[in-house]
Structure 1
């Protein structure tokens, strides 16, 4: 019964994985946090997408940092993606 309420209120999937994080727009880019499960922790990762010259480009950001809390990993993934966008811009897609 607890699984039913978790799924109902966004607490995760049927297989126990956390619910996917929502895509966020940042300076014309779309960031989807995608922390990767890694030995009971979560590795910082995100998908960064943008339209460049009329073409949809994407970059998979993966960092070595791991966090024990999924929500913290989502926030850290967003932060690292924003930092990458600020530092590299469309060069991310080269």
Structure 2
């Protein structure tokens, strides 16, 4: 029985953290890192409300970081740069 409990035990060292959305130049940035093999892949969504509709651009980067807070911060900075470069052409 001990083998199975170790096999299916949730890793208590993994702490999931939900970041608050960031409002930037009319866009809303949602950092949503993906947990992979003990690290966090930079990922998230950029949303824009326009004409009673919400446009969403979801992206996953190749960047992988050791902690979730760093992955969230990098996602926010990359999103701001993407917004500055592309504006509404993101969608």
Q: What TM-score comes out, normalization by structure 1 length?
A: 0.77
Q: Classify the secondary structure of the residue corresponding to 2:74.
A: helix
Please name the residue that 1:32 is paired with. 30
What is the number of equivalent residue pairs in this alignment?
80
RMSD: 1.7
By how many angstroms is 1:52 displaced?
A: 2.8
Larger Rg: 2
Q: Choose the corresponding residue for 1:59, options 43, 57, 60.
A: 57
Query: Unaligned regions of 5+ residues in structure 2, if any?
Result: 1-11
Superposition misfits of 4+ residues, deviation over 3 angstroms: none
The CA deviation at 1:53 is 3.5
Shift of 1:56: 1.1
| Contiguous gaps of at least 5 residues in structure 1 | 1-13
Alpha-carbon distance in structure 2 between the residues aligned to 1:91 and 1:61: 14
